[in-house]
Chain A
Amino acid sequence: MSGSALLSLDRLAVTLPGGVPVIHDATLHVEPGEIVGIAGESGSGKSLTAAALLNLLPAGSRVTGGATFAGEDLLGLDRAGWRRIRGAGISMVFQDPTAALHPMLPIGRQLTEHMRRHLGLSRSDARARAVELLDQVRIPDPQRTLRSYPHQFSGGMRQRVAIAIALACRPKLLIADEPTTALDVTVQAGILALLSRLRDETGLSVLFITHDLGVLSALTSRTYVFYAGRVMETGPTGALLSTPRHPYTAALLGARPHGAAGVGSLRPIPGSPVVPGQAPPGCPFAPRCDFATADCTSAPPEPAPIGTDRLSACPVAPELEVTP
């Protein structure tokens, strides 16, 4: 799309070992210093897209299409190339910070060890940078934290430490896979503020994966809505959430608690999400869609532009009048 994009995926498709197709023709880009959201339910392929970007897919997966990061073709990388990209290029934080932290090693060692390896810093330089990082993610008393162990921290603090570790080698892109889903709202607010500040101060790009549309609204500038491994709709987050141009986006908005008190009910999406590998031949959302026509069941619709900066993979999108 844009020549200057930090990350760009061009019709990326992923098939898991066993021939289960999980991502179809995903086209996506992230600009330097931009926070981009990916929305979707479980099984939508949003986390697998992230896994593909770090070569974390199960062995035997097949990836086709294009993926470039900072001008480099990701799909052609060898082991050494991936090692360079991970850490200094793209890094990741997960929903469960405990999975990213070694329980038996002090935080300081986990932070400094790979800085010394990757950036070639001396022990004292690495230590200084570790303190700086912990301070940057607003951990009180960084000096003491270096000697502490993960279990001594609350979930929110652990996620901050995980972010500090992810930032250690100065990545250009941070992939955050539901990093606040397991956290309380007040703690989540802190993490969102942190990511936003890091973007402002260091020009970090963030690909933020979540199912919480409120979080997307607050944090991201553009959003991709995934369903059954396809991009259903994309555009500036504000416009996308206020005037959805895909029935699935509208349905997601309707299913979330939104209105005034005492309304008493939500509008659930009928049916259940597609099981990977069992998608219907046409639009994967057609069986659950109020607007589906006979055309929708023949072939999956291509994302088509709406206006200048939006795409929707729904043929009825232009006439779609949906109230979120």
Chain B
Amino acid sequence: MSEPTMTEPPTAVDLADRRVRKPLARRSWLRRLRGTSAGHPLWRQPLTVVSVTILVAWLLIAALAPLIAPYDPLAQHAATYLPPSGAHPFGTDELGRDILSRLVYGARLSIPLALVIVALALAVGGVLGLVAGYLGRFVDEALMRLTDLVFAFPQIILAMAVSAAFGPSTRNAVLALVIVSWPVYARVIRSAVLTVRGEDYLHAARLLGVGPIRALRRDVVPNSVGPAVVLATLELGNAVLMLAALSFLGLGPRPPAPEWGAMIALGSHDLSKWWVSVFPGLAILTVVLAFNILGDALRDRIDPRYAKGRET
């Protein structure tokens, strides 16, 4: 007689309990922090506001780096491994460079590169996914097996292998990351296109004599890109992380470029010099988290299951 199970009485109990029990994600405190996503405008969701603020701040920092950074990020100004102090708030690294200045300039690398990686992957994956979903048959089969091939390896291992094969450089790291990340977009767009292909509004348009290309542009694309755009926002954080990982391993931007991942690597040999790693780590953390929260908020907006409540 304790907790009712799914098979409990006449369907009524089950239904009642479903209404009483709140799914974890809809718990009230979480909800209040995030805003009710569906009903509220984005600016009424505190977490989203915070993450947007963080991202805007990082973009400003990147844009205004020369004005903000107290020192030249590449020059040696002081003794090596100075702990945080008034002159060097985040301390200095093994070459006596100011870590705060390097972080500020690092934003000019990490954030734009993440945007480029995601934009390229979305473009490549999006087009291939559209083609696969819309044409179907042989093309679909071939493209999907190709995505399987990429999915068969852990993403970071494959990215390491590709960028090692191309030789370590910023451009090759970006290429490697695009190569390992496009299949996700292709899959997402393809399944969205497959759904739209069965929709009656597409059939109705084709029956009225709308050609396949025009139908693709007006009916298929607008109704299938939503999930991929959300995914792209979520993946921006991932791109920052993966780029940092490649740099950490020496496969990204070459030293002395102030890439955050490479900066962490410098501090990883001696953890007693914690400030060398911790501050770039925090920079990565804030950016990744902000992108993820923003992506979540976007998904709640676009996901039709939440959108329904708005329409009525």
Contacts and interface: CB of A to CB of B under 8 A. Distances in A.
B12 to A, nearest CB: 5
B16 interface: yes
Contacts of A83: 9, 13
Contact of B13 (A86, A105, A110, A162): A86
A236 B75 CA distance: 95
A165 to B, nearest CB: 6
Nearest to B13: A86
Closest CB pairs A-B (n = 4): A91-B10, A100-B11, A87-B9, A114-B9
Contact of B7 (A92, A105, A118): A105
B15 interface: yes
Contacts of B7: 102, 105, 109-110, 113-114
Given A59-B20, A86-B16, A165 B8 contact: no
B1 interface: yes
Interface of A: 54-56, 58-59, 82-83, 86-87, 90-94, 99-100, 102, 105, 109-110, 113-114, 117-118, 162, 165-166, 168-169, 171
B11 A99 contact: yes
B16 A117 contact: no
Given A102-B6, A113-B7, A117-B1, A58 B19 contact: yes
Nearest to A165: B10
B11 A169 contact: no
B11 A92 contact: yes
Nearest to A99: B11
Given A54-B16, A86-B16, A166 B10 contact: yes
A56 B10 contact: no
A221 B288 CA distance: 66
B15 A56 contact: yes
A90 B1 CA distance: 19
Contacts of A58: 19
B286 to A, nearest CB: 37
A5 to B, nearest CB: 21
A172 to B, nearest CB: 13
A87 B7 CA distance: 13
B48 to A, nearest CB: 24
